[in-house]
Amino acid sequence: MSPTGSSERGTRGLFGGLSGGPPWARGPGGGPGGGLPVRSSALVALLQLVGTAGEWRHQASGRVPLDAFGYLLLVAGPVLLVLRRRRPVAVVAGTAAVTLVYLAAGYPYGPVFASFVVAYCVAVWSGHRRAAVLSLLALYGGHLLLAFAVPHGWLRGAGAGGGGWPEFGLGLVALLLAAVAELLRIRHEQAAARHAARQAAARRRADEERLRMARELHDILAHSISLIHLQAGVALELIDDRPEQARAALVTIKAASKEALGEVRQVLGTLRGPGDAAPRRPAPGLDRLTELTEQAAHAGLTVTVRTVGGPRELPAGVGLAAFRVVQEALTNVIRHSAARRAEVLLDWSEPDALTVQVDDPGPAAAPEAGEPAGGGNGLAGMRERAAALGGTLTAGPREGGFRVRALLPTRGEGSVATSAREAR
């Protein structure tokens, strides 16, 4: 626990009950839950009444004893504090006026400034610094007039002043009050800025997690549904003339749909509680590349896998990204190319990177009726996966066909951090 955090909690504990905290911590209606701070205002009233009555016994006999009007003025300030969250400007001006009238009436000193101190802090925290400072200057200026400008014969008792040094001390107290209120305001603004930054970071993490899940679901469903769509068309064409081949297509559909359901459940499991979020099986990697080639073969696409260099163990996130790049590239060949073959290259020759390349010899197939024009999100998702690992992905036409090439770093902070996040 940091000293700064302890200091902030101490500040809230000391002033939160009196002032209701800064405006950004208040609920609808001006305070937490919209209530009025009656209890804390009553505590200020008790402080002023008991403290002033006790102090009067130790002051010079020239001060006027408390009477009904004096007690009324001591209570008036705390009564105004009940509205300090909703009307901070009116309350700070009102408490200054009540305090000045009390002093002008010659009543004994004591904690009579407590209600004004609270109102001043609330006004500063609420953003009404100008009104607060003007009220402070008016109260201190009025006290100076009572001490030096107004004839003592016009005042009750010994008047408001006690000489130059007491007034100088009171001025220092006023400056201290202004400095403390500004310090507390700055600390509250800093705490609010840190809170906003934490919320923004949490929203950013949530957005990244949603993007990751959307990317996973797209890659899973696009591949499986494309395969199912193709095999369903084959089954419809052959079901009357060659039922055995139609049966094989239906078996492929069943296997692809079962595989897709399992992966979708694994991705959606991250939305559950912490105890249920652990995946029941590891994230797919290049060890499942054979499954992709077999599924492509069922769809009529012959895939040749070529390896350069010696394979090595990959972080889970890098392996998943490589698997998804191959999966999405083969899906695009099945959906958008007239070619019945494709080549996958895994280049391990670089010590700190893996190059994944998928070549479609082409040519492009005519789009089916009803298929929307333009590309989907597959290439963008592959680029995002590579960028998240600190790598790159390029995709574009070549020699009548199409090539997808991804460079995925296998070491470094980017791949390690993303691997931990993707493997969850």
Q: Write out the DSSP string of 13-32.
A: HHHHHHH---GGG--TTSSG
Determine the average pLDDT of the residues in 348-372: 81
Residue of higher predicted confidence among 333 and 381: 333
Detail the DSSP E strand segments found in 60-116.
Answer: none
Phi, psi of 11 (to 5 degrees): -65, -45
pLDDT number for residue 98: 93
Residue of higher predicted confidence among 118 and 283: 118
Euclidean distance between CA atoms 309 and 284, whole angstroms: 22
Reading the block at residue 208, the tokens are: 């990244």
Whether the predicted pLDDT of 171 surpasses 60: yes
Reading the block at residue 76, the tokens are: 């008036």
Phi, psi of 423 (to 5 degrees): -80, -10
User: What is Dmax (Cα atoms) for the chain?
Assistant: 123
Q: Write out the DSSP string of 250-271.
A: HHHHHHHHHHHHHHHHHHHGGG
Residue 41 one-letter amino acid? S
Residue ranges per domain, the chain? 3-162, 200-422
Residue of higher predicted confidence among 164 and 391: 391
Burial 303-317 (b: 16+ CB within 10 A, else e): beeeeeeeeeebbbb
Euclidean distance between CA atoms 61 and 193, whole angstroms: 52
In CATH terms, 200-422 corresponds, of 3.40.640.10, 3.30.565.10, 3.40.50.1110, 1.10.1060.10, to 3.30.565.10
Euclidean distance between CA atoms 329 and 378, whole angstroms: 8
Can you give the pTM of this predicted structure? 0.49
Alpha-carbon separation of residue 75 from 42, 70, 97 (angstroms):
9, 9, 13
Beta bridge partners of 306: 345
Q: Which residue has the tokens 């080549």?
A: 343
Mean pLDDT, the chain, rounded, equals 77
CA-CA-CA-CA torsion sign (165, 166, 168, 172): positive
Euclidean distance between CA atoms 191 and 143, whole angstroms: 36
How does DSSP classify residue 364? B
Percent of the chain with pLDDT over 90: 24
pLDDT band at 237 (very low <50, low <70, confident <90, very high): confident
Residue of higher predicted confidence among 200 and 150: 200
Alpha-carbon separation of residue 16 from 8, 183, 184, 201, 327 (angstroms):
11, 15, 11, 27, 58
Half-sphere exposure of 258 (CA within 13 A, CB side): 7
Reading the block at residue 217, the tokens are: 């679901």
CA angle 136/138/139 to nearest 5° reads: 65
Of 285, 315, 294, 306, nearest in space to 388 by CA: 315
Whether the predicted pLDDT of 24 surpasses 80: no
